[in-house]
Amino acid sequence: MKIFKNIFLVCCALFLLQSCIVSSKPNIDFFSKSNYDFEDAKFASFNVPLFLAKPYIKKALREEGESEVAIAMVKKVSKIKMMTVANGSEAMLKDYANYLKDNNYEDWATIKHEGDNVNIRVKQKGEMINNMLITVNSKKDMVFLDVKGNFTADDISKMINIASDK
């Protein structure tokens, strides 16, 4: 009986940690559900298991001396998908921006940070923001974060101000 219990626990742990596996296939909608020709772009994507990540993110923010506003924002996150693209093109990024505009995402901020462009786009219902897409691009390399949760406009503005001050 003890062996079956251990096997069951290992299977449950593997099931919970399967999202930690890095995939070479895109996990962001525009890239995974389109017939777009990505030429020689290389993808690496994974879903962040928040039950493991939240405590580490909060601890890292506290160690770096971040404000409680940033830590409170982490508590409102319900799901994060991350994808990196090597050898991406400006045309691909422009088409991605058009796709987001067509799907009711609003462009909230563009921040230039250490030579990189950081774009923040949100999708909201009423006063609540359900989805935030953060794009970081530098020449040929790009990082896409799809953050789901329940945020207010004030939450996003505070995060933009924190990022802009650095």
> Is there a domain that residue 131 lies in?
yes
Q: How many domains does the chain fold into?
A: 1
> Is there a domain that residue 8 lies in?
no
Helix (H) or strand (E) run with residue 98 in it? helix 90-102
CA distance 89 to 32: 17
CA distance 22 to 130: 25
CA distance 105 to 124: 8
What residue numbers bound the domain in which 44 lies?
21-164
- The model's pTM: 0.74
> Is there a domain that residue 72 lies in?
yes
> Is there a domain that residue 15 lies in?
no
> Is there a domain that residue 14 lies in?
no
CA distance 128 to 150: 6
> Is there a domain that residue 6 lies in?
no
- Residue 103 per-residue DSSP state: T
Residue-level pLDDT, tens digit, the chain, 166 residues: 567 566 756 655 555 555 556 666 666 777 766 666 667 778 888 777 777 778 888 888 788 777 777 778 888 888 888 888 888 777 788 888 888 888 888 888 888 877 788 888 888 888 888 888 888 888 778 888 888 888 888 887 777 776 666 5
> Is there a domain that residue 80 lies in?
yes
